[in-house]
Structure 1
Amino acid sequence: MNTREDYLTYIIKQINTTPYIADDFLKNDNEKFLYRNAFTNIKNNLDDFLGGYRENRLMIMPGLRGTGKSTLLFQAYEYLIEKGIDKNRILYLSLDQLKSFKKSDISNLVDIFVEDIHHRYLATLDEEIFLLVDEAQEDKYWSKTVKAIYDQSKKVFMIFTGSNALDLEINLNSVRRTMFERIYPMNFQEYLYLKYGIADINISSDLIDLFLTGNIENASKKETNLITSASVLKKPLMKEFEYFLLYGGFPLSLNLSEINTHRKIYELIERVVENDVRHYKAYNGNTKQIIFNILSFMATQKPGGLSVNNLSKDIGSSRSNITELLNILEKTHLIFHIKPYGGASKMIRSPSKYYFLSPTLNASINFTLGKHNPNNRDYLGVLAETYVASTFFRLKNTISKPHGIFAPTGKGMADFILTTFEGNRVAVEVGIGNKDKSQVKKSMNKYGCDYGIVISSTTNLIKKDGDVIFLPLTTFSLM
């Protein structure tokens, strides 16, 4: 049994060693990592808190493992130190590491931090303190602790990360002013910035407007900025985009070889399956094997309606078990699904389309299975469709645009139907290589779409042919 003195010793060690851990964590070959887009919101909220604004003092950062949440926490720590905050006022905890402390929890550690380091109670704190907690889901009572701290003191700023996104969101319903910063795998714009320092591309809002309204004017004007900025690359932008699809979805890949990238990402997938699934379902070796069979099946097939019945027969597991495991994999954010377009009966009868959250996950599984073929255009086309789907998924879950993402049903259809709050319907087709507008037009006619969009390498610049827009993959990738 650990004593209060044991915990206090641990906290003092954390306070004294975190500056060194952060400094080492945030560098590669003595060069500091650049900031992901999410850091801007962290920085702004910290500045508001330090300026006296007390409402937004709780940030929750759910996301898939490997997306850089720990790095963001250490960057927040470093920023506070640079702002003149004494290290004694910042407590960084990794609950993965705290597993060695039996019966330890956040509440106990925070109480000792406040009472024994600051000689106050939470309610009587007279200066701001900062609590940075990684892998919060390892403490099953963490959300109750968060609410208790939030209610007792306006002097505590908290950032909590976790890999089990759904738990993080559901458990915080009782805290009114929670700021969610969902952390996704890197998009191509972040990749270009973090790897090459290309930062002067500002076209995302114009591309979103293009999809929601069909207006190409503003995006077309800014597209030339992309071409100019990409001139620093040593290869064509499309080749860099293909490399990104294969290897560049996660920050960890920026300083690794191609082979080591796939190995690390597959290890990440294994950790998700072995650690995060346990939070939702009793786990054994058979469960693990079934999950990896599902993921392998998804990775080696073209995206399409995933028949649970067929999957059940192929894998040798019940339909209800397959359905449950697919739902759990979505909760970990490894995968997501898009429902078929149509009424309630259509959604029930027709299978959904399942995608990986990043095409690099798909590529890493294929690499492990010995089926990775970066020169195959069909393979790259699958990864490109996955990237487009994950982009729509990210935008819907962060800014609610588009309003809906659906899959057309029937042969020869486009890949997606998007709906907007204004009532527009948009047919979207994706591919690598030359793409005509036949599938988009067929879907437009069937579903009464207002316009269609073909995303491919058919053109180098945005162009419009009647009611169909042709959008280069490299331009779309910056949305």
Structure 2
Amino acid sequence: MDILYSFHENMIRQASDGFFRFLYEKINWDQRLIAIKGPRGAGKTTLMLQRLRFGLKTTSTDALYLTADHYWFYTHTLAETAEDFVNHGGKWLFIDEVHKYPHWSREIKNIYDAFPELYIVMSASSALDLFRGEADLSRRLIVYNLPGLSFREYLQLHGILNANPQCFDVIINNYQALAEEVLSQIRPLGHFKNYLQFGYLPIYRQGKESEYLLKLHQIIGTVVENDLSYVAGINAGTSHKVKKLLGVIAASVPFKPNIAELARKIDSSRDSVYEWINLLEKARVLNLLGDKGKSTAILQKPEKIFLENTNFAYALDPRPDIGNLRETYMFNQLVNSGLDVYYPGRYDFEANGWRIEVGGKLKPANDNEDYLIIAADDIETGFRNKLPLWMFGWMY
């Protein structure tokens, strides 16, 4: 166990209290079994280490952070490790990337049931269905989702502006006052353009743009080659086809998919394409927009396919279409804030009873229809039913 305690000490020393993700304060840390899911690079590990270093009053042996693929587990089981930890006074066990441990759900269930004094926090790939493992954790497990940064969080992380989040309805009803408050401190449009290209994941550092885009390529590759292998049994040959599928999609997003044509282009079956598209959505590489009331079954074709975030668009295409970026950003922020989003047909999105049309500053306001919002880029403040697009980055 000394190896694990040494690893734990080395890791928590890296945690900083300079910036906390919005989710940190939303987690009920008193729950005995917590899982944090989210895309690679979103900050799951950092959040766990911050909780250990700054949130818990721990001694040298009552808390332990470990990764599920640590070489310790070549010769030891997770259950044995937890038992030894508890026997030496352990109270808080943090397990990073739990999906990399074989039969993880069965051992976590046994640990939970055997040691009622133990609190377990684990992180997992977005693609992992935590409730469909070998053991039923549905009555024990609380799951939290950590998306990439909102525009508001990006500004806070980089020391540009500190502001409180605002829910969708507050933004709709008070956008002018909110815009005035922001404009009294910064001019948001330049920062917004930077966010669309480099700001979604907290791994970006100013002046390191090319390194960030390279990391995004690595993240996408790791998701397809490693994460989907762990959670869905994707092998090397299949991962190559999934990457080809992603390349075809990235060249056309957002678009209404023709599944037969996609299958033909990558020499695969329609059913495989449906399955892989849904896996890429679960892994937070794609966002799928569906009709309201339609089934979300694997073989249900989405109305539109988007990349999950605008940074991916820049990583896969150095000159992405501006209309694509605007819609991708809007869909992303609506979904990440917890809203159900649908395709209304005539307009771009429907959320919370409002239809939303996304465009540039020249798109005219239109208050002849009830519950219609124009989300316009390149404007600092709005009027009538025309709201600044950047402001929807305030929702979390």
Q: What TM-score results when the alignment is normalised by the length of structure 2?
A: 0.89
Quote the residue 1:41 is aligned against: 26
Deviation at 1:168, TM superposition (A): 2.1
Q: 2:156 aligns with which of 193, 198, 211?
A: 193
> Is 1:102 aligned with 2:74?
yes
Secondary structure of the 1:322 match is helix
Q: What corresponds to 2:114 in structure 1?
A: 152
Match of 1:208 in 2: 169
Alpha-carbon spacing, 1:203–1:107, altered in 2? closer, same or farther (3 Å): closer
Per-residue deviation, residues 81-100 of structure 1 (Å, max 9, x unmatched): xx5410211111111223x6
Counterpart of 1:52 in structure 2 is none
Query: CA offset at residue 155 of structure 1?
Result: 2.0
Q: 1:20 aligns with which of 10, 19, 24?
A: 10
- Cα deviations across residues 247-275 of structure 1 (Å, max 9, x unaligned)? 11111113561100000111011110111
- Residue 324 of structure 2 is aligned to residue 427 of structure 1: no
Give the unaligned 5+ runs of structure 1: 1-10, 50-55, 119-127, 231-235, 367-371, 445-449
Alpha-carbon distance change, 186 to 275 in structure 1, aligned in 2, over 3 angstroms: same
1:134 is displaced (CA, Å) by 0.1
Q: Distance in 2 between matches of 1:380 and 1:182?
A: 28
Deviation at 1:295, TM superposition (A): 1.5
Give the aligned partner of residue 470 of structure 1: 386
> Who is 1:395 aligned against?
337
Q: Does 1:460 align with 2:380?
A: yes
RMSD: 2.7
Give the match for residue 312 of structure 1: 263
C-alpha distance 36-351 of structure 1, shift in aligned 2 (>3 A): closer
Which of 323, 326, 335 pairs up with 2:274? Answer: 323
| Structure with the higher helix share, 1 or 2 | 1
**Correspondences of 1:379-418 after superposition (within 5 Å):** 379-396=321-338, 401=339, 404-409=340-345, 413-418=346-351
SS at 2:112 equivalent: helix
Q: Aligned runs of 1:52-131 on 2, under 5 Å?
A: 56-80=31-55, 83-98=56-71, 101-102=73-74, 104-115=76-87, 117-118=88-89, 129-131=91-93
Which of residues 251, 266, 269 is equivalent to 1:300? 251
Residue 434 of structure 1, CA deviation: 1.9
Q: Secondary structure at the match of 1:181?
A: strand
Q: Return the offset for 1:169.
A: 4.2
* Residues 382 and 272 (structure 1), Cα distance of their counterparts in 2 relative to 1, 3 Å cut: same
Instruction: Determine helix, strand or coil for the equivalent of 1:111.
Output: helix
SS of 1:168 mapped into structure 2:
coil
Query: Structure 1 residues 175, 417: closer, same or farther in 2, change over 3 A?
Result: closer
Mapping of residues 323-362 of structure 1, within 5 Å: 323-341=274-292, 351-362=302-313
Name the amino acid aligned to 1:253: Y
The share of aligned pairs that are identical, in percent, is: 24
Q: Distance in 2 between matches of 1:198 and 1:303?
A: 31
Check conservation: 1:380, 1:432, Cα contact below 8 A.
no
1:433, 1:458 within 8 Å by CA — same for their partners in 2? yes
Q: 1:203/1:271 Cα in 2 relative to 1: closer, same or farther (>3 Å)?
A: closer
Deviations 1:294-344 (A, max 9, x none): 222222224121111121122222212211111221222221211135767
Contact between 2:253 and 2:306, CA under 8 Å: does it hold in 1? no
How far, CA to CA, are the matches of 2:160 and 2:364 in structure 1? 35
Contact 2:257 2:304 in 1 (8 A): yes
3-state SS of paired residue (1:59):
strand
2:66 is matched by which residue type in structure 1? L
CA gap of 1:224–1:169, structure 2 versus 1, over 3 A, is farther
For 1:237 and 1:355, locate their aligned partners in 2 and report how far apart those are by CA, in whole Å.
25
Shift of 1:105: 2.9
AA in 1 matched with 2:68: L
Shift of 1:197: 5.3
Which residue type is aligned with residue 26 of structure 1? A
* Matches of 1:296 and 1:86, distance apart in 2: 49
Is the contact between residue 131 and residue 137 of structure 2 (CA under 8 Å) also seen in structure 1?
no
Residue 454 of structure 1, CA deviation: 0.8
Letter in 2 for 1:382: N
Shift of 1:220: 2.7
Shift of 1:175: 4.6
Q: Could you give the per-residue CA deviations for residues 87-116 of structure 1, whole angstroms, max 9, x where no partner exists?
A: 211111111223x6435332121112223x
Cα pair 1:186 1:251 within 8 Å, conserved:
yes
Q: Matches of 2:132 and 2:26 in 1, distance apart?
A: 22
For residue 203 of structure 2, give the secondary structure of its aligned residue in structure 1.
helix
State whether residues 432 and 457 of structure 1, in contact with CA within 8 Å, keep that contact through their aligned partners in structure 2. yes
Deviation at 1:281? 4.2
Bigger relative CO (Cα 8 Å, ≥ 6 apart)? 2
Q: Is the 8 A contact 2:171 2:178 kept in 1?
A: no
CA distance, structure 2, for counterparts of residue 279 and residue 21 of structure 1: 24
Instruction: Using structure 1 for the length normalisation, give the TM-score.
Output: 0.75
Q: How many residues align?
A: 392
